[in-house]
Amino acid sequence: MTKQEKVSIIGVPMDLGQLRRGVDMGPSAIRYAGISDRLEALQYEVEDCGDIEISRRHSVHSENTNLKNLKAVAEASYKLAEKVDKVIQSGSFPLVLGGDHSIAIGTLAGVTKHYKNLGVIWYDAHGDLNTAETSPTGNIHGMPLAVSIGLGHEELTGIYGDSPKVKPENIVIIGARDLDEGEKALIKEKGIKVYTMHEIDRLGMTKVIEETMEYLKEKTDGVHLSLDLDGLDPRDAPGVGTPVIGGISYRESHLAMEMLAESGMITSAEFVEVNPILDEKNKTASAAVALMASLFGSKLL
């Protein structure tokens, strides 16, 4: 893991980036599953910053756009960016708990204040590269990566500083298996590196992470991990809003986190889309906590 001894936990109880209720309880479920205790056992100083306040005043259909809850998502993203920025300024590692994946807009906006060439590992079944034009739903949780490379509504791309926040060539998507047509076209157009489940099956997770680290090592000055629990197979993480069968296994995900921990490359992280209402006995939140522990250096022996 990175050299920081201090980890700051930021909860984002956001469910406005999509329409399935319950994902706003994700941060509580992850805390309940014992994230602070796990990190303290690994000798980190843990500060729980509580939750970003999510306003529901604007949680209505926005005028002149098909984007759902645009103003509320933009407002929450700005608050989150500000908090993440302050945490990094204080010398602490920001660990953000979601909430739906729209929160990555705010996380990345805050993180990129501190890096000229931030790398992003997007561990997800989806590309989250839709725009208002390509989105089948208008749900902003399918757009954060597009927003971060400067594509999308200006109320989102312009949050907390200039756009784009991230260069397409500094992104690696791992675990993709459900991409919309517009996303496929954008991936080809921008040359974004993607390891679909096909590549993971053919190469194995070890090779995928080795190649990812090699790809990002020379050209980035920090790497953000954005892990959507639906990147895992629904058998291992059933409590997600958009499950896609045939995903990455629990063990493969641990291996990935362990390798990233050994590399010392990861400088910020978020774990998103834990929905306790759809879960089985907090299984998904528990999986998230176990993966976070591996990312922060927990070993089997």
Return all residues near 181 (Cβ < 8 A) that are at least 6 apart. 134
Q: Convert the chain into a string of H (helix), E (strand) and C (coil).
A: CCCCCEEEEEEECCCCCCCCCCHHHHHHHHHHCCHHHHHHHCCCEEEEEEECCCCCCCCCECCCCCCECHHHHHHHHHHHHHHHHHHHHCCCEEEEEECCHHHHHHHHHHHHHHCCCEEEEEECCCCCCCCCCCCCCCCHHHCHHHHHCCCCCHHHHCCCCCCCCCCHHHEEEEEECCCCHHHHHHHHHHCCEEEEHHHHHHHCHHHHHHHHHHHHHCCCCEEEEEEEHHHECCCCCCCCCCCCCCCECHHHHHHHHHHHHHHCCEEEEEEECCCHHHCCCCHHHHHHHHHHHHHCCCCCC
Query: Is 53 known to be catalytic?
Result: no
Q: Which two tokens stand for residue 266?
A: 């990861």
Query: Is 114 known to be catalytic?
Result: no
Query: Is 51 known to be catalytic?
Result: no
Q: Among residues 24, 155, 230, 233, which one is catalytic? A: 230
Q: Among residues 51, 75, 85, 128, which one is catalytic? A: 128
Q: Among residues 101, 153, 224, 254, which one is catalytic? A: 101
Query: Is 124 known to be catalytic?
Result: yes
Residue with tokens 């984002």: 12
Q: Among residues 85, 178, 183, 228, which one is catalytic? A: 228
Query: Is 273 known to be catalytic?
Result: yes
Q: Among residues 51, 75, 100, 124, which one is catalytic? A: 124
Q: Among residues 15, 51, 126, 270, which one is catalytic? A: 126
Q: Convert 130-182 into a string of H (helix), E (strand) and C (coil).
A: CCCCCCCCCCHHHCHHHHHCCCCCHHHHCCCCCCCCCCHHHEEEEEECCCCHH
Query: Is 100 known to be catalytic?
Result: no
Q: Among residues 24, 85, 100, 141, which one is catalytic? A: 141
Q: Among residues 85, 233, 258, 273, which one is catalytic? A: 273
- The catalytic site residues sit at 101, 124, 126, 128, 141, 228, 230, 273
